[in-house]
Amino acid sequence: MAGCCGHNKNFDGMSAAYKRILLWIIAINASMFFVEMSAGISAQSQALQADALDFLGDTFTYGLSLWVIGKSIAVRSNAAIFKGISLFVIAAWVFGSTVYRIFVLNSPDAYTMGTIAMLAFVANVVSVVLLRKYKDGDANVRSVWLCSRNDAIGNLVVVAAASGVWYTGTAWADLAVALILASLFFSSAWQILRQAIAEKRQPVCAE
């Protein structure tokens, strides 16, 4: 196989600089989970709560990414598979809870939504910038890049939702964005799982 035994090998995270970046990003995501979840509950925003859950999921999965660095391809692939499945679970929860909220509409606080979403966007852009050199690594490394990139996109969508809530005075824009975020989570989960399973099936090369 062309990518076997060191030829065109994907970056596997074995770098002190990359590990330091992961520690910073874990701290950023953990902090933003508490900020955004508190604001989402206070503002009655399903989109903010969905995004906060994503921050929480990223905190744990980035910690897992850090732990598996240097381990075998099988361990790294299994970790990526676990992260993909976790994203599917989060997506399913967001989708289900949003469908439920459609029947129990509450108009969220547009100002809080917009302000917190912009703060979350800045946090994720910092993460994306720090990770930009490592976006084409193995499934474990790539999953970190995909999550951060999608989070930044999601934050901008939440800002747009806040504008929609403000303009219409209803919760429909908020709920629509929560469903869009669920779709984004499903897509990322599929990409991570597909790459991880492919890597796991590759022949093990002798050191």
Task: Judge contact between 157 and 118, C-beta under 8 A.
Answer: no
Q: Is the pLDDT of residue 39 over 50?
A: yes
User: Which pLDDT band, with edges at 50, 70 and 90, does 35 fall under?
Assistant: very high
Residue partners of 16: CB distance under 8 A and separation at least 6? none
* Nearest Cα to Cα of residue 81 among 187, 204, 191: 191
* Cβ atoms within 10 Å, residue 166: 16
pTM beyond 0.75, yes or no = no
Q: How confident is the model at residue 191 (pLDDT cuts 50, 70, 90)?
A: confident
Output the pLDDT for position 34: 92
Instruction: Tell me the two tokens of residue 69.
Output: 């660095």
Read off the pLDDT of each residue in 72-101 and give the average, rounded to a whole number. Answer: 77
pLDDT the model gives residue 122: 92
Report whether pLDDT(201) > 60. yes
Domain ranges of the chain: 16-199
The mean pLDDT value for 14-39 works out to 88
Q: Please tell me the predicted confidence (pLDDT) of residue 10.
A: 66
Query: For the domain 16-199, what is the CATH code?
Result: 1.20.1510
Q: Give per-residue pLDDT as tens, 133-190.
A: 877 777 777 777 777 887 788 788 778 878 887 877 777 777 787 787 788 778 878 8
16 vs 96: which has the higher pLDDT: 16
- With H, G, I as helix, E, B as strand and everything else as coil, classify residue 145: helix
pLDDT reading at 3 higher than 60:
no
Write the secondary structure of 58-92 as one string of H (helix), E (strand) and C (coil).
HHHHHHHHHHHCCCCHHHHHHHHHHHHHHHHHHHH
DSSP states along 106-143? ----HHHHHHHHHHHHHHHHHHHHHHGGGTTS-HHHHH
Residue 206: pLDDT above 60? no
**Mean pLDDT over residues 43-71, rounded?**
81
Write down the mean pLDDT value for the chain. 77
Query: What is residue 129's predicted lDDT score, i.e. its pLDDT?
Result: 87
Q: Which residues contact 4 (CB under 8 A, 6 or more apart)?
A: 202, 203, 205
